[in-house]
């Protein structure tokens, strides 16, 4: 887990200005880990800020400490100053500075030490401390271990910290469904509940918070935008910019849509291809050995995990769809094996 920087970890509580960062369009694991770490360090008396590169879905904006989060594009000068003056920058839930988009140059140039806590494949070598394991189901799982094992500080996991960590674990495992879920992870979840997580309430906040528009959008996409390619056990959604506009789609509203394609019996690869106007965004999900991360890395300027990855394209929606379909023959063997 601690693969780099062991000699530095004793210095944490001597740091004067800490900035916690995470990836563009933070998800539950990104924001959950950032706020859990924020509460833990604040409670230790450290001057700590959370700066994120973009907005994020309303399904996670109820997390304790949400009002403290600084969105870089909204407070650019202030955020830059925080990053430039920091003596420690935490890099949570990303393994390449590129994933912080508009913040990447400022972080790269900052004189602060960089400490990564992450579970994505193939980390770049930018961090002074790397607490990394791609077998971890979530960065929040790693942060739990960081606090309890590395700093032996289990006693200071408050209900707020536990709630943030639990949320990241739930969202990054689709509610404990993925292959990454182990008995060890369930033990962590049980411990977090003992520390005060109101677990049913977390699930309510995350999943029973749909807007009417979003649900109708989902229905429209299922009925009109989904195509199945039976010979490759593949299914994909193509969503136009007009559809997004018609349903007033907000950040996060398309999250999870791709899983409906994967839920069709026999489907092993699912794609969501969305026209975000400035670019075309892809989300891939798979079952078994089909490498979503390899497909996104090689062809769509992205990356992620074996069974869940994302990327983008600067061509048209139609060309992106064709590029995706043209890759399927390459993976025919693993897509069609029993």
Q: Which is nearer to ligand 5GP, 123 or 303 (CB)?
A: 303
Contacts of 147 (CB under 8 A, 6+ apart): 40, 153, 154, 156, 157, 161
Q: If binding is defined by CB under 6 A, does position 65 make contact with ligand 5GP?
A: no
Task: Name which of 65 and 310 has its Cβ closer to ligand 5GP.
Answer: 310
Q: How big is the site for ligand 5GP, counted in residues (CB under 6 A)?
A: 11
Q: Kindly tell me which of 50 and 273 has the beta carbon lying closer to ligand 5GP.
A: 273
Nearest-approach distance from CB 50 to Mn ion, in angstroms: 16
Residues that bind Mn ion (CB under 5 A): 29, 93, 139, 172
Rounded CA separation 118/165 (Å): 14
Q: What does R_g of the chain's alpha carbons equal in angstroms?
A: 20
Q: Which of 251, 289, 296, 327 is nearest to 54 (CA)?
A: 251
**Residue 136 interacting with ligand 5GP (CB under 6 A):** no
Q: How far is the CB of 312 from ligand 5GP (least distance, A)?
A: 6
What b-and-e string marks burial along 94-119, b requiring 16 or more CB atoms within 10 Å of the CB? bbbbebbeebbebbeebebbbbbbbb
252 binds ligand 5GP (CB under 6 A): no
Nearer CB in complex with Mn ion: 142/197 = 142
Q: What are phi and psi of 239, to 5 degrees?
A: -120, 120
Of 37 and 137, the one with the shorter C-beta distance to ligand 5GP is: 137
Per partner kind, with CB cut-offs from 5 to 8 A, the member of Mn ion, ligand 5GP, none near residue 303 is ligand 5GP
The answer to whether residues 282 and 273 touch, using CB atoms and an 8 Å cutoff, is yes
Four-residue CA torsion sign, 123, 127, 132, 137: negative
- CA pair distance 240, 211, nearest whole angstrom: 20
Question: Which 290-319 residues touch ligand 5GP, going by CB under 6 A?
Answer: 302-305, 308-312
Given 283, 286, 307, 320, the residue binding ligand 5GP (CB under 6 A)? 283
- Contacting positions for ligand 5GP (CB under 6 A): 99, 283, 302-305, 308-312
């Amino acid at each position: 887990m601690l693969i780099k920087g062991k000699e530095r970890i004793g210095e944490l509580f001597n740091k004067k200005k800490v900035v916690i960062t995470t990836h563009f369009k933070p998800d539950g694991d990104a924001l959950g880990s950032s706020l859990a770490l924020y509460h833990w360090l604040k409670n230790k008396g450290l001057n700590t800020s959370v700066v994120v590169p973009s907005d994020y879905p309303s399904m996670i904006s109820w997390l304790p400490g949400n009002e403290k989060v600084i969105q870089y594009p909204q407070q650019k000068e202030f955020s830059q100053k925080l990053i430039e003056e920091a003596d420690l920058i935490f890099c949570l839930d990303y393994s390449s500075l590129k994933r912080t988009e508009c913040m990447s140059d400022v972080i790269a140039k900052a004189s602060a030490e960089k400490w990564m806590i992450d579970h994505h494949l193939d980390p770049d070598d930018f961090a002074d401390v790397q607490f990394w394991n791609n077998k971890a189901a979530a960065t929040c799982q790693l942060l739990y271990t960081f606090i309890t094992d590395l700093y032996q500080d289990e006693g200071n996991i408050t209900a707020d910290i536990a709630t943030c960590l639990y949320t990241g674990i739930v969202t990054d495992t689709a509610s404990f469904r993925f292959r990454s879920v182990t008995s060890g992870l369930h033990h962590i979840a049980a411990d977090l509940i003992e520390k005060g997580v109101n677990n049913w309430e977390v699930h309510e906040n995350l999943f029973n918070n749909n807007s009417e528009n979003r649900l109708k959008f989902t229905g429209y996409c299922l009925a009109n935008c989904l195509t199945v390619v039976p010979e490759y056990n593949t299914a994909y959604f193509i969503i136009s910019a007009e559809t997004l506009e018609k349903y007033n789609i907000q950040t996060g509203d398309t999250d999870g849509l791709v899983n409906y394609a994967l839920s069709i019996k026999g489907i092993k690869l699912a794609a969501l291809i969305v026209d975000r106007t400035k670019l075309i965004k892809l989300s891939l999900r798979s079952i078994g050995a089909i490498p979503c991360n390899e497909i996104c890395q090689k062809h769509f300027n992205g990356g992620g995990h074996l069974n869940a990855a994302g990327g983008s394209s600067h061509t048209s929606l139609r060309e992106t769809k064709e590029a995706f379909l043209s890759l399927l023959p390459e993976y025919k063997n693993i897509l069609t094996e029993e």
